[in-house]
Structure 1
């Protein structure tokens, strides 16, 4: 990967700024007025209509579930799943161990400080642009697959149960992602394994970013994570259902997601948009922060094999709907965000071959 070996300027941990008792945020975190959450020209609420909620225990009534997921991916790019097969106890345990990590002493966390070469480890920024306006959040990035990239030694050793819990969580979420991929395939009228095969079959990439958004003295001036669409395949997000923060862009307005207890929030990324020839849409989303509450989320990414060229699947290309995207590997694609950080949907839109 053509990235720097180190960050272009000293890394400051957002949690340290928050816990210092500062009454204002440094200029490096102040967003332009058009991007601030207080800009009412682009902010809205759901008016009671949030992202779709889908019950995965209804797979016995498979056609209704497939249709519901397909409709959600075409209209929203997001949906919540309940009765998904992952135990609520494991979900709560996973959140607890990672909250435990972020509340370790700084010298413990600093042992795992990351670099822009791989992003693996404890980080506080995305993108390597010197002087960039930063987001109000810290994170921990780690790999599950391919196995050649996974190393428990790169995962925190404290709290003591973190590695075993994270390993179990990764196995369960990988299984859930496989189910979702099969449903997505059927929703496009394809064989259930078609999208999975396009991703590389058993050679998929699986990773996770645990995000920690500290309390912010001026939440109206910044964002926990800037507007972006996910560069990969699908994302399965676990959030704290007591603290809202995720917003999804819908019809030009920002809709705040109302999290459901013991549910996952699922969204399709740019690679699914490419494979589906834009039948399914990756959608911009962003994260707000709070003056009174810290917030932790766990974003689980299910991605194509990194060196496999991806383009619209031939079955979805017709004379009336030609291929909208040129082939590109995920390694090439994600280099954009690793260099520049979150930038809306500018990357996937730049790949279009026809209008």
Structure 2
């Protein structure tokens, strides 16, 4: 089996830069995922975030999960459950404005840690977008500008826990899907695995690595690159033991950003992907998240054609 791509960002500053850029290019074209080490976010900050997230789940969410999801999901169930996920989640918005002060049950240290982490991650996302621009032959800042809209990008974090599941054969931690947005940065549990991506018809584990950040590409980057880079289906497998922590941050276009293939990437004026307002895509995605992405692109194309006519 091919090895999962791991990128050492420290090598961007030395003689291995060209080889590292080539690895990123290959990961974007053939995997839709890669894992970053030496990304510049301190281990101390990541350790504090992990500790606070796990404490918060135990104290504020574990019992609620057992009362609501666990009982409802598996009571007397014999066949596979297709309309539910075995996960406990909450969402934090960072941009265009933060709502972290309004999230209940978070103590001051957790809020402060999450805020510091999100600021560092935002910078990392923008740095990565510029590396993608370089590989694609686009001017520096092109992708950030494409995401900007009138108020800048949207950026938020989904904090998830995947508790031990007595019947992992009947329910997924998170059902298979592609991500709707731009670039996704994931800090995941390094002891309990579960995240898998679909490559060449096979489900492949995304290896848990201490202090790494997993990157994957969303549907919007597939559209902007006119299919050169692809968003890839992934899922979370429920486990019988261990509680898996997942902190996924989504650096997405602003709601009114107009998304379309970069003209520089069109071959002989062939445009395979539609042009649309990001918010319209998200409204469509909300109901079709766990279905194939291609009909979503087709639906947006039909809207575009109707508008032109």
The TM-score normalised by the length of structure 2 is: 0.86
Name the CA distance, whole Å, in 1 between partners of 2:90 and 2:174.
14
Q: 1:292, CA displacement in angstroms?
A: 1.1
Larger mean CA deviation between 101-110 and 49-58 belongs to 101-110
Summarize the Cα distance change of 1:348–1:185 in structure 2 as closer, same or farther, 3 Å threshold.
farther
- The total of aligned residue pairs comes to 287
Tell me the residue number matched to 1:151: 99
**Any residues of structure 2 matched to 1:88-237 within 5 Å, and which?**
88-105=43-60, 133-147=83-97, 150-200=98-148, 203-237=152-186
Provide the secondary structure at the position in 1 that maps to 2:44: helix
CA distance in 2, matches of 1:239, 1:227: 18
Tell me which of the two structures has the higher relative contact order, counting C-alpha pairs closer than 8 angstroms and 6 or more residues apart. 1
Match of 2:42 in 1: 87
Q: Contact 1:227–1:344 (CA<8 Å) still a contact in 2?
A: no
Contact 1:233 1:268 in 2 (8 A): yes
* Deviation of 1:348 (Å): 4.5
Cα pair 1:326 1:351 within 8 Å, conserved: no
Which whole-Å CA distance do the structure 1 matches of 2:279 and 2:270 have between them? 25
Pair 1:59–1:155, CA change in 2 (3 A): same
1:343 is paired with a residue whose SS is coil
How far did residue 351 of structure 1 move? 5.0
Cα distance in 2, alignment partners of residues 107 and 248 from structure 1:
27
Question: Residues 102 and 109 of structure 1 are in contact (CA less than 8 Å); yes or no, is this contact kept in structure 2?
Answer: no
Query: Which sections of structure 2, spanning at least 5 residues, go unmatched?
Result: 66-71, 74-80, 303-309
1:115 aligned residue: none
1:103/1:337 CA distance change after superposition, 3 Å: farther
Scaled by the length of structure 1, what TM-score is found?
0.75
What is the root-mean-square deviation of aligned Cα atoms in Å? 2.6
Counterpart in the other structure of 2:201? 252
Contact in 1 for aligned 2:177/2:235 (Cα 8 Å): yes
- Equivalent residue in structure 1 for 2:21, among 26, 47, 66: 66
- TM-superposed CA distance for 1:353, in Å, is 5.4
3-state SS of paired residue (1:215): coil
